[in-house]
A and B are shown apart, each in its own frame.
Chain A
Amino acid sequence: MDNIAGTKSSLTWAVHISVVALVLLWLFPTAGLFVSSFRTADQISASGWWKSLTTSEQNLTLRAGAPANQVQDGALYVIEGNLFDEAEAPQAKIGTWGISARELGAFQPGDTAELRNGSKVTVQENGDYRQTSEEEFSGRRGSRIFVNAELPPDFTLENYEQVLLSGNSQDSMAKAFFNTLTVTIPATIIPIVIAAFAAYALAWMDFPGRALLVAFVVALLVVPLQLALIPLLKLHLGIGIGKGYLGTWMAHTGFGLPLAIYLLRNYMVGLPRDIIENARVDGATDFQIFTKIILPLSFPALASFAIFQFLWTWNDLLVAKVFLIDASGQTTVMTNQIVELLGTRGGNWEILATAAFVSISVPLVVFFAMQKYLVRGLLAGSVK
């Protein structure tokens, strides 16, 4: 359609390249978090995450074996081994090496250097070394050798272990994960049931004041929930619910209802009138029409709202902070846990990135699995 003769090819290329650039730009931030969650603290502070995907050059300080390991070979005393094994570091390829911190790259692999104590050391590319001396080695520790090594990409699951399994209450996301789940599921299901009945009444039942009620729902759609915080907290404290799950479920239900009713009503109004009228003629009651015909037919709209409400309650911080989290901290949710980690462990990116990724992984799975319904819901909710 847009292809005007002659301009097609160059423009198409420009479009493809721009889209690639746009997608990369949008993915880059999340990718950074994802990659960082698989790196150790040292790796994260040593280089940007984008460098971790390729082999990286790193300066390492390693040690030859301790004098205790020496063997006598004729007139020479010899210490042999592999520098990386000695340090229990991952294997790497040595580019250059040196024997003092001031001359890091003085020698190539295979060269022989003379140390200050008179011994000679040869280091191979793979880290094998041979240190020889005419006199017996003394002291407790081996000689230091500075290598510049090419490290292959190296990733670890340690952070996830620390965040999910360690049981360290400060870092642990395990409990917060279950708390979030506990908040989310009832807060998603209950408004659907309540809203479905109301939406049916607003869509298919005739009664005075119906138009007014629809307007009421549309108006409440935009009321900022910030307004509700204090009055409802007062109410909850007043009737004895206090801070806790029950109050949070009720609050999420109340805040989710306008969108639920609005989406479901719009969908139900569009269902074919014939089916419903035929059922009425056949003697079905409204209750039967609703449960046997309307509900099954409305599945796409129900799914749309369920995803909205799930994402919203899972990602919520404000409602949880006001209605759920008390001084004991037993009922913390993941978003709150992450905010606290930002305060207490602001520099520990390995913990932060992993915690954040744990919390966004579930919405991401839901998002990619149910995207069709999400898009449908967005379109039904906005394009009017």
Chain B
Amino acid sequence: MHPAFAGLVTIVIGVGGCLCYFWLSNQFLDKVLFPAKGPNAGRNINRANLIRPWLFLFPALFALSLYLAYPVVETIRLSLTERVTQTDGTTVYEFVGLKNYAQMSSDPKFWEAMFNNMFWLIVVPALSTAFGLLAAQLTDRISWGNIAKSLIFMPMAISFVGAAVIWKLIYDARPPDTSQIGVVNAIYVGLTGNDPVQLLTVPFWNNFFLMIVLVWIQTGFAMVILSAALRGIPEETIEAAIVDGANPFQIFFKIKMPQIMGTIVVVWTTITLVVLKVFDIVFAMTNGQWGTQVLANYMYTQLFVSRDWGVGSASAMVIMLLVTPILIWNVRNARKEMR
């Protein structure tokens, strides 16, 4: 069967199946199990209403538990086991305690990934938020601001892989004395007359060149959110500041910034989450060579190149640990709102 056709069938079965499930289960509940008539009509309606939410929730809860909650538990378990080939040729996973973590922490590539990730965690959210704030403030009151915003926002739609190709062209280096087609080297050679540089192999700074790609993508996101927050600032506070003789910079830093601090934090943490999972950019541009390894790519290499599920799971747990503070913070905020 052609996959496109299979896709269509899946849509029909998936969507139709879901709708059928919801409709039939509701019918069953109302008509068969607890019919809203007869001597127990009132009690039956109450009972049906106790069960109905779970009918609505069941498919989602099932998928969430199986595809997100269970893997967390299973990854913890896998990170404590090791594949052992027995004498009869079968493989089993044996409990080995923290051995995988010990092995991982003696791997210099892991520490390189950790160090780089910390560097990413500082630079990318900071630059994206700063540029986003700048763009939001500058486009706020000009007539063609919306067009400008939509163009800066555009990289959001581009895949990390597509962005990797785009930026590889920018960082491209040709042999000396030929025409440089990468704009960075064209400018560098034009200004200094030195030989072109293979930018993605320059130690330490190549990390920065990879980060710029993500900053380029995420700035639009930061801008959109912060721009809405800037619009939400009460006009009176700004008017009052103008009356008091504040200059535009004072208005921005002393009046506007404090009022949107909450939003800045939200933007910062959202980008932090993206950074922690960044994989495609590094995978497509350097694959962790030349000192550019990051955790997500380290994990991928362990899992699918070295085929070491124990260490791979252990490094996945490190990523999980790093997002946990944000997870707790989010849950607490959500609970506060529910009240």
Q: Assess whether A223 is in contact with B224, with CB atoms less than 8 Å apart.
A: no
User: 8 Å CB contacts to A: which residues of B160-184?
Assistant: 160-170, 172, 174, 178-183
Question: How many angstroms between the C-alpha atoms of A214 and B135 in the bound complex?
Answer: 34
Question: How many angstroms between the C-alpha atoms of A315 and B153 in the bound complex?
Answer: 16
Q: Assess whether A384 is in contact with B183, with CB atoms less than 8 Å apart.
A: no
A143 within 8 A of B: no
Q: Looking at chain A, what size class is its interface with the partner chain?
A: 35 or more
Surface stretch bound by B, among A28-36, A77-85, A132-140, A166-174: A28-36
Contact with A along B306-330 (1 / 0, CB 8 A): 0001001100110110010011001
A179 within 8 A of B: yes
Question: How many angstroms between the C-alpha atoms of A19 and B74 in the bound complex?
Answer: 49
In the complex, the number of residue pairs spanning A and B with C-beta atoms less than 8 Å apart equals: 350
* Given A26-B216, A46-B179, A197-B56; A360-B158 close (CB under 8 Å): yes
Q: Assess whether A222 is in contact with B330, with CB atoms less than 8 Å apart.
A: yes
Q: Which of A19, A201, A232, A384 is within 8 Å of B148, CB to CB?
A: A19
CB distance from B4 to the nearest CB of A (A): 5
Q: Assess whether A315 is in contact with B283, with CB atoms less than 8 Å apart.
A: no
CB distance from A206 to the nearest CB of B (A): 8
Residue of A with least CB distance to B168 = A342
B42 within 8 A of A: no
Q: Assess whether A211 is in contact with B338, with CB atoms less than 8 Å apart.
A: yes
Q: Which of A44, A198, A232, A234 is within 8 Å of B59, CB to CB?
A: A198
Question: How many angstroms between the C-alpha atoms of A27 and B135 in the bound complex?
Answer: 14
Question: How many angstroms between the C-alpha atoms of A225 and B75 in the bound complex?
Answer: 11
CB distance from B323 to the nearest CB of A (A): 5
| A-chain residues with CB within 8 Å of residue B316 when the two chains form the complex | 224, 226-227, 229-230
Q: Assess whether A190 is in contact with B71, with CB atoms less than 8 Å apart.
A: no
User: 8 Å CB contacts to A: which residues of B68-84?
Assistant: 68-72, 74-75, 78
Q: Assess whether B18 is in contact with A193, with CB atoms less than 8 Å apart.
A: yes
Question: How many angstroms between the C-alpha atoms of A12 and B22 in the bound complex?
Answer: 57
Contact with A along B260-298 (1 / 0, CB 8 A): 000100110010010011011001100000000000100
Q: Assess whether B61 is in contact with A254, with CB atoms less than 8 Å apart.
A: no
CB distance from A130 to the nearest CB of B (A): 34
Residue of A with least CB distance to B146 = A371
| B-chain residues with CB within 8 Å of residue A273 when the two chains form the complex | none
| B-chain residues with CB within 8 Å of residue A228 when the two chains form the complex | 67-68, 71, 75
A107 within 8 A of B: no
| B-chain residues with CB within 8 Å of residue A189 when the two chains form the complex | 11, 14-15
Question: How many angstroms between the C-alpha atoms of A45 and B300 in the bound complex?
Answer: 34
- Please count how many residues in chain B sit with their CB below 8 Å of the partner chain's CB atoms: 123
Residue of A with least CB distance to B51 = A207
| A-chain residues with CB within 8 Å of residue B72 when the two chains form the complex | 223, 227
Q: Which of B26, B52, B68, B74 is within 8 Å of A258, CB to CB?
A: B68
| A-chain residues with CB within 8 Å of residue B303 when the two chains form the complex | 229-230
| B-chain residues with CB within 8 Å of residue A230 when the two chains form the complex | 71, 74-75, 78, 303, 309, 312-313, 316
B41 within 8 A of A: no
**Most B CB atoms within 10 A — which of A11, A48, A314, A379?**
A48
| B-chain residues with CB within 8 Å of residue A231 when the two chains form the complex | 70-71, 74-75, 78
Q: Assess whether B60 is in contact with A186, with CB atoms less than 8 Å apart.
A: no
* Given A16-B142, A211-B338, A231-B75; A338-B162 close (CB under 8 Å): yes
B residues neighboring A (CB under 8 Å):
3-4, 6-7, 10-11, 14-15, 18-19, 22-23, 26, 30, 49-50, 52-54, 56-57, 59-61, 63-64, 66-72, 74-75, 78, 131, 134-135, 138-139, 141-142, 145, 148, 150-170, 172, 174, 178-183, 186, 216, 219-221, 224-225, 228-229, 235, 238-239, 242, 247-248, 251, 263, 266-267, 270, 273, 276-277, 279-280, 283-284, 296, 299-300, 303-304, 309, 312-313, 316-317, 319-320, 323, 326-327, 330-331, 333-335, 337-338
Pairs across A and B, CB under 8 Å, 5 listed? A45-B179, A258-B68, A321-B304, A360-B157, A360-B159
In the A-B complex, the 10 residue pairs with the smallest Cβ-Cβ separation, listed nearest first, are A254-B67, A315-B159, A198-B60, A367-B157, A231-B74, A201-B56, A228-B71, A356-B165, A231-B71, A182-B7
Given contacts A22-B148, A47-B179, A227-B316, 16 further A-B contacts (CB under 8 A): A4-B242, A7-B247, A186-B11, A197-B22, A207-B53, A215-B334, A254-B68, A257-B64, A287-B22, A290-B56, A349-B181, A359-B162, A363-B157, A367-B156, A378-B224, A383-B229
